[in-house]
């Protein structure tokens, strides 16, 4: 059964969900799942397939149900890491085990660096640390082109450009930049501009996340077992390459998971992964069996 709570901090009201009892029934730490810019709704399928565990999910400040009072609209790993730390303290059940995906994986690496006693094992799934790749400057250029499309032509155009960027295989060469602008209609996206420009994925509000450089010394000194994970279908696209670069930076091999960047998703968001296989793999990795 899910119970929803709100933690009020100095800068935000953080809404979080707890599936299962606290203290946990078996004495094992809770499993904390975090994403960014995805909120807790994206973990419903994985939480349902982890029913043997007490699972905690949350909405990062300024996303989903969590509101902010800090006067800012950007998203930074450091601020989010401190929010996660506050939530773990509020739970009174730490240290936790953690599965973190996409921008949430970047936040989680910052949690390990800033609050090394909070997490026993972290599975960081496809952190989009674009500046770590060999073609980092070209990746930054590609990201800027997504924002430009969004600013000029609206959400549909921006999202089409984002899909084109994240599905490009290999390094961002001049052939990538020579392509015509992505057509939102070709992706089933709206062609009309609704005038909004506050999307955390398409604007520059999350650039601090993809620009982040993990504190390698702090992470390796922490007691946390850190696993960098990549989807088997992602190996040649941007988030697969950033995963490989992050693993290399931390001096460890990549751990392969089923499916793609959203491999833990059911069909509710239109691009289903393989949540049954993903949950089994996550269980194995958390248990140290793979």
What is the DSSP annotation of 180-226? PPP-GGGGT---S-------TTTSSTTHHHHT----HHHHHHSS-EE
Q: Residue 269's pLDDT is what? A: 78
Q: Are 259 and 274 in contact (CB under 8 A)?
A: yes
Residue 289 has pLDDT above 70, yes or no: no
Binning pLDDT at 50, 70 and 90, where does residue 267 land?
confident
Supply the mean pLDDT for the chain. 96
pLDDT in tens, 132-184: 999 999 999 999 999 999 999 999 999 999 999 999 999 999 999 999 999 99
pTM: 0.96
- Tell me the C-alpha distance between 285 and 289, whole Å: 6
| pLDDT range class, residue 256, cuts 50, 70, 90 | very high
Q: What is the pLDDT of residues 1-54, one digit of tens each?
A: 899 999 999 999 999 999 999 999 889 999 999 999 999 999 999 999 999 999
CB atoms within 10 A of CB 147: 19
Res. 290: pLDDT tops 80 = no
Query: Whole-angstrom Cα distance, residue 138 to residue 47?
Result: 37
């Amino acid at each position: 059964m899910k119970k929803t709570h709100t933690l009020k901090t100095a800068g935000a009201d953080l809404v979080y969900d707890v599936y299962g009892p606290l203290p946990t029934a078996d004495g094992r730490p809770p499993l904390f799942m975090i994403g960014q810019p995805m909120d807790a709704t994206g973990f419903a399928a994985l939480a349902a397939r982890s029913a043997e565990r007490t699972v905690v999910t949350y909405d990062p400040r300024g996303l989903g149900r969590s509101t902010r009072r800090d006067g800012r609209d950007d998203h930074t790993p450091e601020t989010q890491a401190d929010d996660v730390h506050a939530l773990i303290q509020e739970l009174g059940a730490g240290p936790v085990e953690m599965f973190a995906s996409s921008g949430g994986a970047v936040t989680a690496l910052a949690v390990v660096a800033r609050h090394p006693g909070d997490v026993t094992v972290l599975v960081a799934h496809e952190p989009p640390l674009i500046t770590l790749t060999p073609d980092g400057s070209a990746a930054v250029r590609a990201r800027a082109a997504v924002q430009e499309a969004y600013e000029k032509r609206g959400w549909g155009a921006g999202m089409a450009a984002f899909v084109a960027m994240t599905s490009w295989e290999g390094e961002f060469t001049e052939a990538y930049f020579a392509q015509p602008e992505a057509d939102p209609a070709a992706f089933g996206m709206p062609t009309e501009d609704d005038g909004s420009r506050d999307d955390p994925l398409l604007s520059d509000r999350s650039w601090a996340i993809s620009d982040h450089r993990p504190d390698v010394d702090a992470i390796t000194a922490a007691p946390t077992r850190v696993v960098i994970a990549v989807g088997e279908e992602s190996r040649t696209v941007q988030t697969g390459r950033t995963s490989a670069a992050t693993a290399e930076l931390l001096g460890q091999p990549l751990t392969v998971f089923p499916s793609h960047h959203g491999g833990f998703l059911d069909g509710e968001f239109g691009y289903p992964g393989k949540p049954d296989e993903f949950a089994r793999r996550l269980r194995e990795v958390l248990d140290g069996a793979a």
